[in-house]
Chains A and B, each alone.
Chain A
Amino acid sequence: MSFKFKPAFILYAILSFALSFGSGCGGADKPAESAQANDSLAKELADSIQAFFQIPMPGEYYAHLKRLGLKSKPGLLNPVANIASYTGSKEKAINFGIYSSDLFYSSNFDQKADVLKIFNNLRKLAEEMGIASVISENLLKRIEKNLANNDSLNSYANDVFFDASANLEKNGQGASLALMLAGGFIESIYISTELAAGEKEGGAVYQYLADQKFPLENLFHFLERHKNDSRVSEVITAMAPLKNAFEAIKAEPAKSSTNTNEKRTIGAGSTLILSSKQFKEIKEIATAIRTEFTSKSSSK
């Protein structure tokens, strides 16, 4: 070995030493964190054995309401300026859900004026919630180019909501995910009851609204799983009147439809019946909870 190579080998030694730690840290895992990563993987697998509860995205809800003939109304969205008052982690997570619901409403009902501002709001909240990657600069540019295209906007909103949910789950932020889903649900019920104000008892819109009792049950199961988080327990308390109002909707025996094809039919036997009085009560309760959720932040 020639002495003139010594400096190169010293440099190699220094770099190797640095890299062997660097591949475990600085964006990847430190050696100590690799043990943590394996632990979190084991926990994720353990958790997967427990039941989990899927909640439909607001986009599908609004798409069906539009198919049922509901028309948009002005002034329903959570003002984008309100974001300045969301300083606590609870309000940020809840209003990520609320603004997501607003986005789905805007793209389904052609209310495009605030779409870009809502996406910017979501981006700001995502950064503060530690899930900044769900809305990249690239995505914002694509949204700007496709503002006239409802299908594209809906698709972007789906991706953001899905990625936010996946990221929060992956990062062990199940409680924040629960808050986000709760915010999205309340906003969806608030907006839809405003849109449905002139609908008739017994119609398809009333039926679909009544059927939101089922995803609400799943949402509460999900919230209950995280009730040890005080932010979630507060939301459970806040939403209890809505849960009670939906639980009061009774099922009555229903005739099965004539299924002329070969497919299996499920759900035969009973259907939920929503009265005008119950609709009015749900509307008032949803509005009150939504007002609480979108108002100024608490300290948490």
Chain B
Amino acid sequence: MKISNIILGIGAALLLNLPLFAQTKTRNKTEYCENYHKEKCKFQREDIEFQYNSQSKSALFRPGQSCTFNITVFKGFDYRMTFHADENLLQGQHLMYKVLDARTKKVLFETSEDDTNLDFEFVCDNSLNLIIQLQLPEVSYEPTDESMYGCLGFLLESRNSLKTGF
């Protein structure tokens, strides 16, 4: 068998099997979400000394899905949190979330349908666990791999509370 025929055979085999490698890549969409919150979440307002908090997280979601998660916030710290979601999870609608005291279940904050600002900033007077309840909007989608899933990121930042004034 001539070398040129071998090369031709290998080249043709590789070329015609490219779609299979592409399929492998889309199966790893969960990995794609891992650092989504670090890359996509942005606060609307600039502020000083806030640092990334390790309770931030990203995950893969379906449109219309809801989620609950718990974090701890500590006395003497300022916090701010925000979310970002892939557009196919929202399709022009808003992500809604509530923040509750984990012990009393009292609602401390909730987003409104009119407000696109997802940032929530607060001073923590005494340490507590918070429950964050998230709701993605129901959207219409074709059941193809691409639009059924999307990444959602939660970014939490914190700093030692700033004392202002004389």
Contacts and interface: CB of A to CB of B under 8 A. Distances in A.
A15 B14 CA distance: 8
A264 B2 CA distance: 78
Interface residues of B, number: 62
Nearest to A208: B74
B62 A271 contact: no
A38 B121 CA distance: 38
B128 A28 contact: no
Interface residues of A, number: 66
Given A28-B24, A48-B65, A19 B14 contact: yes
Interface in A1-23: 4-5, 7-12, 15-16, 19-20, 23
A67 B160 contact: yes
Interface stretch (A69-77, A255-263, A282-290): A255-263
Contacts, number: 180
B31 interface: yes
Interface stretch (B3-11, B90-98, B110-118): B3-11
Interface of A: 4-5, 7-12, 15-16, 19-20, 23-24, 28-29, 34, 37-38, 41, 44-45, 48-57, 59-60, 64, 67, 158, 161-162, 166, 170, 204, 207-208, 211, 214-215, 217-218, 221, 254, 256-257, 259-261, 263-272
A19 B72 CA distance: 49
Given A54-B55, A266-B108, A266-B123, 15 more contacts: A4-B2, A8-B5, A8-B12, A11-B9, A12-B12, A16-B17, A28-B24, A45-B60, A217-B129, A260-B164, A266-B124, A266-B128, A267-B124, A267-B125, A272-B126
B165 interface: yes
Nearest to B1: A7
B13 A15 contact: yes
Contact of B127 (A28, A51, A214, A265): A214
Contacts of B122: 263-266
B152 to A, nearest CB: 9
Contacts of A208: 74-75
Interface string B6-46: 10111011101100110110010111001000000000000
B5 A264 contact: no
A158 B35 CA distance: 13
A52 B66 CA distance: 12
B69 A11 contact: no
B157 to A, nearest CB: 12
A94 to B, nearest CB: 20
Interface of B, secondary structure class, is: mixed
A9 B74 contact: no
B140 interface: no
Contacts of A53: 69-70
B20 A20 contact: yes
B126 A254 contact: yes
30 contacts: A4-B5, A8-B6, A8-B8, A8-B12, A9-B9, A10-B9, A16-B13, A16-B16, A41-B29, A45-B65, A49-B66, A53-B70, A54-B57, A55-B72, A56-B53, A158-B54, A211-B127, A214-B129, A215-B72, A217-B129, A218-B70, A256-B125, A260-B164, A264-B109, A264-B122, A264-B123, A265-B124, A266-B123, A267-B73, A271-B127
B130 to A, nearest CB: 8
